[in-house]
Structure 1
Amino acid sequence: MHRNFRWQVDEHFNIAEACCGRWARAEDDALPATKRIAIRTHRPGAETLFHTYSELQRAADALSHVLAGLGVQRGDRVAIVMPQRFETAVAYMAIFQMGAVAMPLSMLFGPDALAFRLQDSEAVVAICDESAIASVKSIRTDCPALRTVVAAGAAVGQGDVDYESALAAQQRSFTAVKTKADEAAILIYTSGTTGPPKGALLAHRALIGNLPGFVCSQNWFGFDGKTNAASDAVFWSPADWAWTGGLMDALLPTLYFGRPIVAFNGRFSPELAFSLMAEQGVTHSFLFPTALKAMMKAYPQPRRQFRLRLQGLMSAGEAVGDAVFAYCREQLGVTVNEMFGQTEVNYIVGNCSRYWPARPGSMGKAYPGHRVAVLDDEGRECAVGVPGDVAVNRFDVHGDPDPIFFLGYWRKDEATRAKFSGDWCRTGDLARRDADGYLWYEGRADDVFKAAGYRIGPGEIENCLIKHPAVVNAAVVPKPDRERGAVVKAYVVLAPDFIASRAGSTGAEGQFELQMIAELQAHVKNLLAPYEYPKEIEFIDALPMTTTGKVQRRVLRLQEEARFKAAEG
């Protein structure tokens, strides 16, 4: 695949044209209605709302006129602070075809997080619905560049411009600007797990760079590989469309291939996930390991209750581990394809169970079009089995430029330069390569630690803990220790049903916890090396998570350091 694959990136390329315009113009009168659907809005207990590509284009044209009337110009940043809904997709298409820059912001952000990003980007317009408009309005005076707030959904009357009435007054086509492939299209701020968030500026061509990985990780996304005839593929992911995972791994590639994507604006739960996939006939999905773990614990045999049609399943963000891997294969009827990427260089490594065997726990191999290596501190490629920094080269195996690369960090040239070693972009994620070219995730560079002289990667221990029926989730961090430097500590979330069934039979609460700690320690000792078992276990109700579904080990690590200093002081 690497040998035969060649990039085709024209000088001019626009995401909106590729994801909507061409489908809206297509002669589709002979196709059934399901073939023309762009967005399916899932409403539990009510009928699904269907929106065609033509509807999407008409709404995008109207919104482009509205934004132009508000003074938005080519290159201006426009914030989108909305969940999965039709209006969110409209906003992206409208901004892209204007040549402006879409800046997605999570509806879960509080005022401080919103203020930082709006100030730093100097966004001129924010499009919000009821989920975030109060927070945006509360920091409005701190964002002098923010001229206009457009209120959508149930937020009507709470902004400067009402989305629906403004679009109703602009029912005319919009002439899209001719953007270059290298022109800026998206500004996404990193999740900030290891420091203050930085704005990663992505070009229109970045979508092209994502496509090989998307198609591979979704087992060819319903195309048969011979005639390119499409099946009735339907995509859904709970990933927020404000993040790389939801935008570049779900919404945009699905629309690029003219398929329907399910939008759901509501709280995730295992029951919701299974019922939505069954009702909507979802064939392809992206589910975080955290979500899969919860689904596995809640429904050990889901196909007894839900009729599933899954053909492709991708997971990313954390290591899946062999327990979840086996669950997906045996109970969901599909081999999960792990994927690895970052906002800056997304979809570079992963699996494709259709064409090469996935190995439980492995990140996979470099996807076609991407030249990936594991490098040491000096920039040399590491030997087989030796952990190092995962890096991707600016040029593929043919010497052609890889379109996946971000343009740089927003107004942070030094940080952009620090991301590279020559033509190699370092991810800051550690992995080791086996003799067959598969990569095995070791953790973030700052997540790996030494305890009593041993190098500890948290992922393997966390995966081991998850295998115990009592454990819903776990995070492993170093606990400072005067004699050994650090010891392994695990934060564990227990299953409520397990607590209820066991707590009553063990007497006092303290006795129950002691027994559980000993049981989990023995569980890890039996499966891993003696030095890897957690010397200390703390039970908590929930792990600190980023809005992208990643465990914030840094928060727990800093907490342990603070406790140590307080005890020593």
Structure 2
Amino acid sequence: MHADFHWQVPEFFNIAQACSRRWAEQAQTASETAVIADGPDCAQPRHHSYAELQQAANRLSNGLRLLGVRRGERVAIALPQRFETAVAYIAVLQLGAVAVPLSQLFGPEALEYRLQDSAASVALVDQHSGALVQALRAQCPALRHVLGLTGALDPEVIDWAAVQEAASAECALVHTRAEDPALLIYTSGTTGNPKGALIPHRALIGNLSGFICSQNWFGFDPHGASTPSQAVFWSPADWAWTGGLLDALLPTLYFGRPIVAWNGRFAAATAFALLQRHRVTHTFLFPTALKAMMKDCPQPRQLYRLRLQAIMSAGEAVGDAVFDYCRQQLGVTLNEMFGQTEINYVVGNCARLWPARPGSMGRAYPGHRVALLDEQGHECAQGEIGEVAVHRLDRHGVPDPVFFLGYWNNPGATRAKFSADPASSWCRTGDLAVRDADGYLWYQGRADDMFKSAGYRIGPGEIENCLIKHPAVLYAAVVPKPDAQRGALVKAYLVLAHEAAQQRARCINPEQAFDPALVAELQAHVRQRLAPYEYPKEIEFIDALPMTSSGKVQRRLLRLQEEERAQRG
């Protein structure tokens, strides 16, 4: 498959043209559904066609032009999943401007940093994000205008609806090169301020082999039939996150399919209801979502009529408990995927084309050259832990289009992303894995999440996976606790499942972090299944784990908390 795969990247390419305009300009596809808008405030879901999407984007593009937005300028998009958010991305990208996705979960400091660092000239907001952005305008001198979806915002906020009414529905496409910047996405970061990864238009093409494989061919026949079956996509992933934007919204529109825009909070019951209501066939569910669904509804097909054909997951290793749940209870073999904002969709599984192995990251997707490197930059042997790295060139010596352009205004960080050898073109991810005899990668954790205890190298993933198999545990995070004798102890932070949490509250003081009986039971649960040195010597129960907006556990914050406690004695 790798030998026969060749990238086809044209000199000129624009994401907006590929994801909307080309469908809207064809009579047979213009009326097809692009976005299904739904949410708690919607009386009925509304289907928006590709023609509607393009016309609304044209009007917004013309409005942005009147506000002075030019090619290469950054436009912040601080909107949730909704039809207007898809419109915003198409409108900005077809102008040749650069979209800066901003999550609704960001607080004032996170928003201020990104608006200042990107020097965004315009921000597109709703009622929630609008109030925050308006309060920051004095600290963001580059921000000339704020465009709001509702008229109830600050008088200085331009009304989106008025712009749409006044602007023309015809708009010329700016012919961008494939190499031109399209998105400026800020990474969550493990240390220091987040870095802005500048993503070119060609990166969408680089994502496609992974998207097609992880979505089990997305309704197409892998043996060459040209007519796809009906496919409907939904994911709770925020469209301001790489997983929601480049793994869900844009590739779905690229293939001319409908995507559900759910403008509401995630809950397991809501997720199952959406899958049933919209006859969703393909989805991206991050591990925390799948774990919540598994705990909340152990036998979903007894309650819901599901039409799922493919489930992709990423961000953390799901473990074999979730893998088995998807296969046995949802009727789908889960395809785990691995990628980063800077080099997305490079490794994963495809149950249609090669066997998915429970807990495995999978293998390199076609078009990507992936290796495990040691600290000196040498490729690791089978069975050795190494850092996942991706080469700038594919096996044919052709540039891999998935690569980012660099970190915004941070050439030092861009250089540091690559191997220390100046002649090397390996891009390091900071994630550790082991390769087996068949080329499958097995995730071992972040390089900065690994630690040693009494001389043993510990990775948190296997222990966390073991803990969530216990019915009392909903989420788990394992970190080192400083210890004078062993260097570090294995410590687990646990969020209990609902019934276990209620039972514990009845038995002990809810403010008490320690429950001796349950701790002993969980320790025995791990000790019986893993190596003796891996069971958690200490367990602390908390209400919620610190997570990024993309659903990744921020172990670094827990690790720092343990270090601070140790320093205080």
The amino acid across from 2:139 in the alignment is: D
In structure 1, give the amino acid aligned to 2:427. Answer: C
1:274 has 2:276 as partner: no
Q: Would you say the 8 A contact 1:150–1:159 is kept in 2?
A: no
Q: Report the counterpart of residue 143 of structure 2 in structure 1.
A: 146
* Residue type of the alignment partner of 2:394: D
Deviation at 1:483, TM superposition (A): 1.2
What residue in structure 1 maps to residue 312 of structure 2? 314
Q: 1:157 to 1:563 in 2, by over 3 A?
A: closer
Among all aligned residue pairs of Structure 1 and Structure 2, give the percentage whose two residues are the same amino acid: 66
May I ask how many residue pairs the two structures share in their alignment?
562
Give 2:527's aligned residue: 525
Contact 1:338 1:351 in 2 (8 A): yes
How far apart are 1:81 and its partner, in Å? Answer: 0.3
Alignment of structure 1 residues 456-475 onto 2, 5 Å: 456-475=458-477
- Is 2:62–2:168's contact at 8 Å kept on the other side of the alignment? no
Answering whether residue 21 of structure 2 is matched by residue 25 of structure 1, we say no
1:16 aligns with 2:16: yes
- The aligned counterpart of 1:358 is 356
Aligned counterpart in structure 1 of residue 75 of structure 2, from 70, 75, 78? 78
In the alignment, structure 1 residue 47 sits paired with structure 2 residue 44: yes
In the other structure, the counterpart of 1:546 is: 548
Query: Aligned-pair distance for 1:512?
Result: 8.1
The 5-angstrom pairing of residues 435-454 of structure 1 reads 435-454=437-456
1:551 to 1:511, Cα distance in 2 relative to 1, 3 A: closer
Return the alpha-carbon distance in structure 2 between the equivalents of residues 187 and 243 of structure 1. Answer: 11
Moved more, 43-52 or 296-305: 43-52
* Residue 337 (structure 1) aligned to one of 328, 335, 338: 335
Structure 1 runs (4+) greater than 3 angstroms displaced: 153-159, 501-504, 506-512
Say if 2:99 and 2:182, in contact at 8 Å, map to a contact too.
yes
Q: For 1:497-518, what per-residue CA distance to the aligned partner results, in whole angstroms no more than 9, with x for missing partners?
A: 12334665x5777698110000
Q: Does 1:489 align with 2:491?
A: yes
In the alignment, structure 1 residue 126 sits paired with structure 2 residue 128: no
Q: Kindly provide the CA deviation profile for residues 517-558 of structure 1, in whole angstroms up to 9, marking residues without a partner as x.
A: 000000000000000000000000000011110000000000
SS at match of 2:12: coil
Q: Secondary structure at the match of 1:131?
A: helix
For the residues of structure 2 that align with 1:266 and 1:564, how far apart are their CA atoms? Answer: 40
Asked if the contact 1:151/1:159 (under 8 Å) is kept, the reply is: no
1:206 aligns with 2:206: no
Superposed, 1:215-226 pairs within 5 Å as 215-225=212-222, 226=224
Distance 2:357 2:107 in 1: 39
**What letter matches 1:544 in structure 2?**
P
CA shift for structure 1 position 360: 0.5
Residue segments in structure 2 that go unaligned for 5+ positions in a row? none
Correspondence for 2:536 among 534, 537, 562: 534
**Correspondent of 1:228 among 226, 229, 246:** 226
Equivalent-residue separation in structure 2 for 1:82 and 1:103 (angstroms) = 11
Distance (Å, rounded) in 1 between the aligned partners of 2:548 and 2:346: 22
Give 1:171 shift.
Answer: 2.7
SS state of the match for residue 531, structure 1?
A: helix
Worse-matched range after superposition: 295-304 or 146-155: 146-155
Distance 1:393 1:108 in 2: 34
**Pairwise CA distance, 1:496:** 2.2
Residues 1:79 and 1:512: Cα distance change in structure 2 (over 3 Å) = closer
Deviations 1:350-381 (A, max 9, x none): 00011100001000000000000000011111
Q: Deviations over 1:308-330 (max 9, x none)?
A: 10001000000010000000000
**Unaligned stretches of 5+ residues in structure 1:** none
- Equivalent of residue 348 in structure 1, options 342, 346, 349: 346
Work out the CA distance in 2 between the residues paired with 1:248 and 1:285.
13
Q: Which residues of 2 match residues 33-432 of structure 1 at below 5 A?
A: 36-44=32-40, 46-153=43-150, 155-156=152-153, 158-225=155-222, 226-421=224-419, 422-432=424-434
Residue identity matched to 2:9: V
Residues 396 and 402 of structure 1 are in contact (CA less than 8 Å); yes or no, is this contact kept in structure 2?
yes
Q: Distance in 1 between matches of 2:453 and 2:325?
A: 32
Q: Quote how far apart the aligned CAs of 1:154 are.
A: 6.0
Structure-1 separation of matches of 2:131 and 2:498: 34
Give the letter for the 1:177 counterpart: V
> What secondary structure sits across from 1:71 in the alignment?
coil
Are the counterparts in 2 of residues 216 and 351 from structure 1 also a CA contact under 8 Å?
yes
RMSD between superposed Cα atoms in Å: 1.4
Q: 1:511 to 1:107 in 2, by over 3 A?
A: closer
Question: How far does the alpha carbon of each residue in 1:100-149 deviate from its partner, in whole angstroms, 9 at most, with x for none?
Answer: 00000001111110010010110000000012111101111000000000
- The question of whether the paired residues in 1 share the 8 Å contact of 2:514 and 2:540 is answered with no
SS in 1 for 2:127: coil
In structure 1, C-alpha distance between the alignment counterparts of 2:153 and 2:163, rounded to whole Å: 11
Superposed displacement of residue 47, structure 1: 1.1
Q: TM-score, normalised by structure 1?
A: 0.97
Give the drift of 1:192: 2.1
Structure 1 13/495 Cα, relative in aligned 2: closer, same or farther at 3 Å? same
Distance 2:428 2:346 in 1: 12
1: distance between equivalents of 2:331 and 2:267? 20
